[in-house]
Amino acid sequence: MEYCILGLLSREPMYGWQLSETLVRSGLIASIGTLYPVLARLRERGLVTTFEDATGTGPVRKYYRLTGSGEELLANFRDQWPTFSLTVGSMIRGEDPDLPTDPASDSPLDPPLEGTTPDA
């Protein structure tokens, strides 16, 4: 879910309720209460930052946006995602998880790097 949040924030800064609605609609979280601990961890790790903005009609909203570190981590994950998803897909289908090869060199693509997930 962390990378989904980073991906959403890569498009635009969003406030918590906005993020929650998108993630609930997608079936990735059950409620907004699930979101805030994840946002706190991402913030503690320096992957997102916050700012406040007045709505004009209601209370001030706290917005979340990616930091440079968050953008870098997301870019690395995006590079690794095709290999990772193919490997996991093979495993859950009970198939041999042959690593896909780079068509240009016919050598295996790099596997996901250790320690690149927000929870690592």
* 96 against 69, higher pLDDT: 69
Instruction: Band the pLDDT of 51: cuts 50, 70, 90.
Output: very high
Rg for the chain, CA atoms, rounded: 17
SS (H, E, C) the chain: CHHHHHHHHHHCCEEHHHHHHHHHHCCCCCCHHHHHHHHHHHHHCCCEEEEEECCCCCCCEEEEEECHHHHHHHHHHHHHHHHHHHHHHHHHCCCCCCCCEECCCCEECCCCCCCCCCCC
Please check whether residue 41 lies inside any domain of the structure. Answer: yes
Q: What is the CATH number of the domain that holds 53?
A: 1.10.10.10
Examine residue 81 and state whether it is found in any structural domain, yes or no.
Answer: yes
- Determine, yes or no, domain membership for 89: yes
Quote the pLDDT of residue 120: 42
pLDDT value for 103: 58
What pLDDT is recorded for position 116?
Answer: 54
pTM of the model: 0.75
Asked whether 24 and 5 are in contact (CB, 8 A), the reply is no
Confidence of residue 57 (pLDDT cuts 50, 70, 90): confident
Rounded to 10 degrees, what is the CA torsion of 34, 63, 26, 30?
20
**Rounded Cα–Cα distance for residues 3 and 53 (Å):** 25
Task: State yes or no: pLDDT of 111 exceeds 60.
Answer: no
Number of domains in the chain: 1
Does 108 map to a domain?
Answer: no
Query: Is the pLDDT assigned to residue 24 strictly greater than 70?
Result: yes
